[in-house]
Protein backbone atom coordinates (compact mmCIF):
# COMPACT_ATOMS: atom_id res chain seq x y z
CA UNK A 1 0.00 0.00 0.00
CA UNK A 2 1.30 3.45 -0.90
CA UNK A 3 2.27 5.94 1.78
CA UNK A 4 1.09 8.80 -0.40
CA UNK A 5 -2.33 10.04 -1.34
CA UNK A 6 -3.40 12.27 -4.18
CA UNK A 7 -5.16 15.54 -3.35
CA UNK A 8 -6.14 18.57 -5.35
CA UNK A 9 -5.18 22.09 -4.26
CA UNK A 10 -5.59 25.51 -5.78
CA UNK A 11 -2.66 27.92 -5.74
CA UNK A 12 -2.02 31.29 -7.35
CA UNK A 13 -0.66 30.97 -10.91
CA UNK A 14 2.52 32.83 -9.99
CA UNK A 15 3.28 30.37 -7.21
CA UNK A 16 2.73 27.38 -9.50
CA UNK A 17 5.00 28.97 -12.10
CA UNK A 18 7.69 29.44 -9.44
CA UNK A 19 7.37 25.83 -8.27
CA UNK A 20 7.47 24.44 -11.82
CA UNK A 21 10.57 26.51 -12.56
CA UNK A 22 12.26 25.10 -9.45
CA UNK A 23 11.40 21.57 -10.61
CA UNK A 24 12.81 22.33 -14.08
CA UNK A 25 16.05 23.52 -12.42
CA UNK A 26 16.26 20.19 -10.61
CA UNK A 27 15.50 21.52 -7.13
CA UNK A 28 12.83 18.81 -6.70
CA UNK A 29 11.76 15.78 -8.68
CA UNK A 30 8.14 16.97 -9.01
CA UNK A 31 5.69 19.67 -7.99
CA UNK A 32 4.39 17.34 -5.27
CA UNK A 33 7.90 16.70 -3.95
CA UNK A 34 8.65 20.43 -3.91
CA UNK A 35 5.51 21.23 -1.93
CA UNK A 36 6.06 18.31 0.44
CA UNK A 37 9.67 19.32 1.10
CA UNK A 38 8.69 22.91 1.83
CA UNK A 39 5.66 22.02 3.96
CA UNK A 40 7.20 19.29 6.14
CA UNK A 41 9.31 21.61 8.35
CA UNK A 42 6.29 23.84 9.03
CA UNK A 43 4.21 20.84 10.07
CA UNK A 44 6.96 19.76 12.48
CA UNK A 45 7.21 23.26 13.96
CA UNK A 46 3.43 23.45 14.41
CA UNK A 47 3.51 20.14 16.31
CA UNK A 48 6.38 21.34 18.51
CA UNK A 49 4.59 24.61 19.34
CA UNK A 50 1.36 22.72 20.09
CA UNK A 51 3.29 20.40 22.43
CA UNK A 52 4.93 23.38 24.13
CA UNK A 53 1.57 25.13 24.58
CA UNK A 54 -0.02 21.94 25.96
CA UNK A 55 2.77 21.52 28.51
CA UNK A 56 3.41 25.13 29.49
CA UNK A 57 0.45 27.12 28.21
CA UNK A 58 0.37 29.50 25.29
CA UNK A 59 2.44 32.67 25.67
CA UNK A 60 0.54 35.66 26.95
CA UNK A 61 -0.12 38.64 24.69
CA UNK A 62 1.97 40.73 27.12
CA UNK A 63 5.22 38.88 26.39
CA UNK A 64 7.93 41.33 25.34
CA UNK A 65 5.99 44.44 26.30
User: Residues 20-57: pLDDT tens digits?
Assistant: 999 999 999 999 999 999 999 999 998 998 998 888 88
Judge whether 19 and 31 are in contact, CB under 8 Å. yes
pLDDT reported for residue 40: 94
pLDDT reported for residue 13: 98
* Whole-prediction pTM: 0.71
pLDDT reported for residue 27: 97
Q: Residue 63: is its pLDDT beyond 60?
A: no
Give the end-to-end CA distance of the chain in Å, rounded to a whole number: 52
Spacing of C-alpha 49 from chain mean position:
15
Q: Residue 61: is its pLDDT beyond 70?
A: yes
Amino acid sequence: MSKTRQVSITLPKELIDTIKAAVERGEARSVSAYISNKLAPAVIMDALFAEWDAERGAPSAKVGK
